[in-house]
Protein backbone atom coordinates (compact mmCIF):
# COMPACT_ATOMS: atom_id res chain seq x y z
CA UNK A 1 0.00 0.00 0.00
CA UNK A 2 2.74 2.45 1.02
CA UNK A 3 4.69 1.64 -2.14
CA UNK A 4 1.73 2.53 -4.32
CA UNK A 5 1.31 5.88 -2.61
CA UNK A 6 5.02 6.61 -3.00
CA UNK A 7 4.92 5.78 -6.68
CA UNK A 8 2.16 8.32 -7.15
CA UNK A 9 4.21 10.99 -5.39
CA UNK A 10 7.28 10.25 -7.49
CA UNK A 11 6.77 11.31 -11.11
CA UNK A 12 8.75 8.87 -13.21
CA UNK A 13 9.99 10.06 -16.62
CA UNK A 14 8.60 8.10 -19.59
CA UNK A 15 11.92 8.20 -21.50
CA UNK A 16 13.68 5.47 -19.53
CA UNK A 17 14.82 3.78 -22.74
CA UNK A 18 17.19 6.70 -23.46
CA UNK A 19 19.29 5.64 -20.47
CA UNK A 20 20.86 2.98 -22.68
CA UNK A 21 22.66 5.75 -24.63
CA UNK A 22 24.43 7.52 -21.80
CA UNK A 23 25.62 7.12 -18.23
CA UNK A 24 24.41 10.65 -17.53
CA UNK A 25 21.75 10.77 -14.80
CA UNK A 26 18.81 11.24 -17.16
CA UNK A 27 15.17 10.23 -16.60
CA UNK A 28 15.61 10.20 -12.81
CA UNK A 29 12.10 11.44 -12.09
CA UNK A 30 10.99 13.98 -9.55
CA UNK A 31 8.96 14.59 -6.40
CA UNK A 32 7.36 17.96 -6.97
CA UNK A 33 10.33 19.54 -8.73
CA UNK A 34 12.90 17.87 -6.46
CA UNK A 35 15.01 14.74 -6.64
CA UNK A 36 13.48 11.52 -5.31
CA UNK A 37 15.15 10.30 -2.08
CA UNK A 38 16.78 7.34 -3.81
CA UNK A 39 18.54 9.68 -6.25
CA UNK A 40 19.81 11.92 -3.45
CA UNK A 41 21.22 8.88 -1.67
CA UNK A 42 22.76 7.39 -4.83
CA UNK A 43 24.47 10.67 -5.56
CA UNK A 44 25.68 10.92 -1.96
CA UNK A 45 27.18 7.45 -2.15
CA UNK A 46 28.98 8.22 -5.41
CA UNK A 47 30.37 11.41 -3.92
CA UNK A 48 31.47 9.55 -0.78
CA UNK A 49 33.37 7.03 -2.94
CA UNK A 50 35.10 9.84 -4.81
CA UNK A 51 35.95 11.65 -1.57
CA UNK A 52 37.40 8.49 -0.05
CA UNK A 53 39.42 7.91 -3.20
CA UNK A 54 41.02 11.32 -2.67
CA UNK A 55 41.48 11.16 1.08
CA UNK A 56 42.11 7.54 2.09
CA UNK A 57 45.87 6.98 2.26
CA UNK A 58 47.33 4.45 -0.14
CA UNK A 59 48.03 1.11 1.56
CA UNK A 60 51.65 1.00 0.42
CA UNK A 61 52.44 -2.30 2.13
CA UNK A 62 49.64 -4.17 0.38
CA UNK A 63 50.56 -2.54 -2.93
CA UNK A 64 54.20 -3.58 -2.52
CA UNK A 65 53.15 -7.17 -1.97
CA UNK A 66 50.92 -7.07 -5.07
CA UNK A 67 53.65 -5.56 -7.22
CA UNK A 68 56.31 -7.99 -5.99
CA UNK A 69 53.99 -10.82 -7.00
CA UNK A 70 54.40 -9.54 -10.56
CA UNK A 71 58.18 -10.12 -10.24
CA UNK A 72 59.09 -6.46 -9.79
CA UNK A 73 61.18 -5.13 -6.91
CA UNK A 74 59.89 -2.01 -5.18
CA UNK A 75 61.23 1.03 -3.39
CA UNK A 76 59.31 3.71 -1.50
CA UNK A 77 59.59 7.48 -1.80
CA UNK A 78 57.66 10.55 -0.72
CA UNK A 79 57.07 14.04 -2.05
CA UNK A 80 57.62 17.34 -0.25
CA UNK A 81 53.93 17.46 0.72
CA UNK A 82 53.77 16.16 4.31
CA UNK A 83 50.05 15.35 4.31
CA UNK A 84 46.92 15.35 2.15
CA UNK A 85 45.78 18.84 3.10
CA UNK A 86 49.06 20.44 2.06
CA UNK A 87 49.19 18.15 -0.97
CA UNK A 88 45.87 19.60 -2.15
CA UNK A 89 46.89 23.19 -1.43
CA UNK A 90 50.40 23.04 -2.84
CA UNK A 91 50.61 21.18 -6.14
CA UNK A 92 54.22 22.37 -6.41
CA UNK A 93 55.17 20.32 -3.31
CA UNK A 94 53.66 17.19 -4.82
CA UNK A 95 55.89 17.61 -7.87
CA UNK A 96 59.16 17.47 -5.88
CA UNK A 97 60.83 14.67 -3.94
CA UNK A 98 61.43 14.90 -0.23
CA UNK A 99 65.15 15.46 0.36
CA UNK A 100 65.50 12.11 2.11
CA UNK A 101 63.87 10.23 -0.76
CA UNK A 102 66.04 12.01 -3.28
CA UNK A 103 69.20 10.95 -1.42
CA UNK A 104 68.00 7.36 -1.12
CA UNK A 105 67.30 7.13 -4.82
CA UNK A 106 70.59 8.75 -5.78
CA UNK A 107 72.39 6.22 -3.55
CA UNK A 108 71.01 3.25 -5.44
CA UNK A 109 71.40 4.85 -8.86
CA UNK A 110 73.69 2.91 -11.18
CA UNK A 111 75.95 3.80 -14.07
CA UNK A 112 74.01 1.56 -16.43
CA UNK A 113 70.87 3.53 -17.28
CA UNK A 114 67.40 2.13 -16.65
CA UNK A 115 65.60 1.80 -20.00
CA UNK A 116 62.07 1.89 -18.68
CA UNK A 117 61.42 3.05 -15.13
CA UNK A 118 57.98 2.54 -13.62
CA UNK A 119 56.83 4.98 -10.93
CA UNK A 120 53.54 4.56 -9.08
CA UNK A 121 52.02 7.64 -7.41
CA UNK A 122 48.85 7.91 -5.33
CA UNK A 123 47.82 11.13 -7.07
CA UNK A 124 44.19 12.08 -6.48
CA UNK A 125 42.86 8.52 -6.22
CA UNK A 126 44.49 5.91 -3.99
CA UNK A 127 41.59 3.67 -4.99
CA UNK A 128 42.72 3.67 -8.63
CA UNK A 129 46.25 2.74 -7.63
CA UNK A 130 45.35 -0.05 -5.23
CA UNK A 131 42.87 -1.56 -7.69
CA UNK A 132 44.58 -1.28 -11.04
CA UNK A 133 48.36 -1.01 -10.72
CA UNK A 134 49.14 -4.70 -10.08
CA UNK A 135 46.96 -6.12 -12.88
CA UNK A 136 48.25 -3.44 -15.24
CA UNK A 137 51.86 -4.34 -14.38
CA UNK A 138 51.08 -7.97 -15.18
CA UNK A 139 50.03 -6.89 -18.66
CA UNK A 140 52.98 -4.53 -19.05
CA UNK A 141 55.24 -7.46 -18.17
CA UNK A 142 53.74 -9.37 -21.13
CA UNK A 143 54.60 -6.65 -23.64
CA UNK A 144 57.97 -5.47 -22.27
CA UNK A 145 60.96 -6.20 -24.57
CA UNK A 146 63.25 -8.71 -22.89
CA UNK A 147 66.37 -6.62 -23.33
CA UNK A 148 65.00 -3.59 -21.50
CA UNK A 149 66.42 -2.93 -18.05
CA UNK A 150 63.55 -1.85 -15.81
CA UNK A 151 64.94 -1.27 -12.30
CA UNK A 152 62.70 -1.15 -9.23
CA UNK A 153 59.12 0.11 -9.26
CA UNK A 154 59.14 3.33 -7.22
CA UNK A 155 56.04 3.86 -5.07
CA UNK A 156 55.74 7.54 -4.18
CA UNK A 157 53.15 9.05 -1.89
CA UNK A 158 51.54 12.54 -2.06
CA UNK A 159 52.61 12.59 -5.70
CA UNK A 160 51.78 14.71 -8.74
CA UNK A 161 52.68 13.64 -12.26
CA UNK A 162 55.87 15.71 -12.58
CA UNK A 163 57.55 14.03 -9.59
CA UNK A 164 58.31 11.16 -11.98
CA UNK A 165 60.78 13.47 -13.74
CA UNK A 166 62.89 13.99 -10.64
CA UNK A 167 62.74 10.28 -9.78
CA UNK A 168 63.74 9.31 -13.31
CA UNK A 169 66.63 11.74 -13.20
CA UNK A 170 67.81 10.49 -9.80
CA UNK A 171 67.76 6.85 -10.97
CA UNK A 172 69.42 7.54 -14.33
CA UNK A 173 66.42 6.40 -16.38
CA UNK A 174 66.05 6.90 -20.13
CA UNK A 175 62.30 6.93 -19.78
CA UNK A 176 59.74 7.00 -16.99
CA UNK A 177 56.19 5.71 -16.98
CA UNK A 178 54.22 7.37 -14.18
CA UNK A 179 51.13 5.40 -13.08
CA UNK A 180 48.96 7.75 -11.04
CA UNK A 181 45.43 8.07 -9.65
CA UNK A 182 43.45 10.61 -11.69
CA UNK A 183 41.06 13.22 -10.32
CA UNK A 184 38.03 11.11 -9.43
CA UNK A 185 34.70 11.70 -11.08
CA UNK A 186 31.39 10.77 -9.57
CA UNK A 187 30.99 7.83 -11.92
CA UNK A 188 34.72 7.01 -12.04
CA UNK A 189 36.40 7.21 -8.61
CA UNK A 190 39.17 4.84 -9.69
CA UNK A 191 40.59 6.08 -13.01
CA UNK A 192 44.30 5.40 -13.41
CA UNK A 193 46.42 7.61 -15.68
CA UNK A 194 49.75 6.76 -17.30
CA UNK A 195 52.25 9.46 -18.27
CA UNK A 196 55.27 8.52 -20.36
CA UNK A 197 58.26 10.88 -20.38
CA UNK A 198 61.49 10.37 -22.32
CA UNK A 199 64.72 11.70 -20.81
CA UNK A 200 63.01 12.74 -17.56
CA UNK A 201 64.49 15.70 -15.73
CA UNK A 202 63.34 18.61 -13.59
CA UNK A 203 61.52 21.39 -15.40
CA UNK A 204 59.63 19.47 -18.08
CA UNK A 205 56.00 20.29 -18.81
CA UNK A 206 52.94 18.27 -19.79
CA UNK A 207 53.74 19.00 -23.43
CA UNK A 208 56.77 16.70 -23.00
CA UNK A 209 54.70 13.65 -22.07
CA UNK A 210 52.27 11.22 -23.62
CA UNK A 211 49.21 10.40 -21.58
CA UNK A 212 47.02 7.31 -21.47
CA UNK A 213 43.90 8.07 -19.47
CA UNK A 214 40.99 6.33 -17.78
CA UNK A 215 42.62 2.92 -17.25
CA UNK A 216 40.09 0.71 -15.43
CA UNK A 217 37.86 -2.22 -16.35
CA UNK A 218 34.94 0.13 -17.21
CA UNK A 219 37.24 2.35 -19.28
CA UNK A 220 40.47 1.42 -21.05
CA UNK A 221 41.28 -2.26 -20.43
CA UNK A 222 44.59 -3.23 -18.78
CA UNK A 223 45.86 -5.14 -21.81
CA UNK A 224 44.95 -2.35 -24.24
CA UNK A 225 46.60 0.25 -22.01
CA UNK A 226 49.75 -1.85 -21.58
CA UNK A 227 50.02 -2.46 -25.32
CA UNK A 228 49.58 1.25 -26.04
CA UNK A 229 52.16 2.17 -23.41
CA UNK A 230 54.81 -0.18 -24.72
CA UNK A 231 54.10 0.91 -28.30
CA UNK A 232 54.69 4.52 -27.25
CA UNK A 233 57.78 3.55 -25.24
CA UNK A 234 59.35 1.71 -28.19
CA UNK A 235 58.59 4.62 -30.46
CA UNK A 236 60.02 7.06 -27.90
CA UNK A 237 63.15 4.95 -27.67
CA UNK A 238 63.45 5.18 -31.46
CA UNK A 239 62.84 8.91 -31.94
CA UNK A 240 64.25 9.86 -28.51
CA UNK A 241 61.33 12.09 -27.55
CA UNK A 242 57.87 12.01 -25.98
CA UNK A 243 55.11 14.59 -25.94
CA UNK A 244 53.55 16.47 -28.80
CA UNK A 245 56.16 15.15 -31.25
CA UNK A 246 55.16 11.54 -30.55
CA UNK A 247 51.77 10.72 -32.06
CA UNK A 248 49.94 7.68 -30.79
CA UNK A 249 49.41 5.50 -33.83
CA UNK A 250 49.52 2.25 -31.91
CA UNK A 251 46.32 1.14 -33.58
CA UNK A 252 47.68 1.90 -37.03
CA UNK A 253 51.08 0.23 -36.96
CA UNK A 254 52.82 -2.36 -34.85
CA UNK A 255 56.47 -1.89 -34.05
CA UNK A 256 58.45 -5.09 -34.08
Which residue ranges make up the site for other proteins (CB under 8 A)?
11, 13-15, 17-28, 30, 32-35, 39, 43-44, 46-47, 50-51, 53-54, 88-91, 124, 183-189
> Which C-beta is closer to other proteins: that of 28 or that of 223?
28
* Residue 128 · residue 182 · CB < 8 Å: yes
For residue 154, the cross-strand partners are: 75, 119
Minimum distance of other proteins from residue 213's CB (angstroms): 10
> Which C-beta is closer to other proteins: that of 84 or that of 234?
84
> Which C-beta is closer to other proteins: that of 195 or that of 198?
195
> Which C-beta is closer to other proteins: that of 25 or that of 76?
25
> Which C-beta is closer to other proteins: that of 59 or that of 92?
92
For residue 78, the cross-strand partners are: 157
Alpha helical stretches, state H, the chain: 2-9, 37-55, 60-69, 84-89, 91-94, 99-108, 126-143, 163-170, 222-239
Calculated CA dihedral for residues 93, 94, 95, 99, nearest 10 degrees: 70
- DSSP percent split of the chain into helix, strand, coil, nearest 5: 45, 20, 40
Minimum distance of other proteins from residue 239's CB (angstroms): 23
Minimum distance of other proteins from residue 191's CB (angstroms): 8
Please measure the distance between the N-terminal and C-terminal CA atoms of the chain and give it in whole angstroms.
Answer: 68
Minimum distance of other proteins from residue 16's CB (angstroms): 10
Amino acid sequence: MIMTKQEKIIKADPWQQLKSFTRARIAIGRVGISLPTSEVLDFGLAHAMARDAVHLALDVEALEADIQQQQFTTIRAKSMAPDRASYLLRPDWGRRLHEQSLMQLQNISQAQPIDFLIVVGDGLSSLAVSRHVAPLLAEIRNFLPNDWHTGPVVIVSQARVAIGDEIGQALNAKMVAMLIGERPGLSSPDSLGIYLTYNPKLGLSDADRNCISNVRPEGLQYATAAKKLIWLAKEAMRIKVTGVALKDESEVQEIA
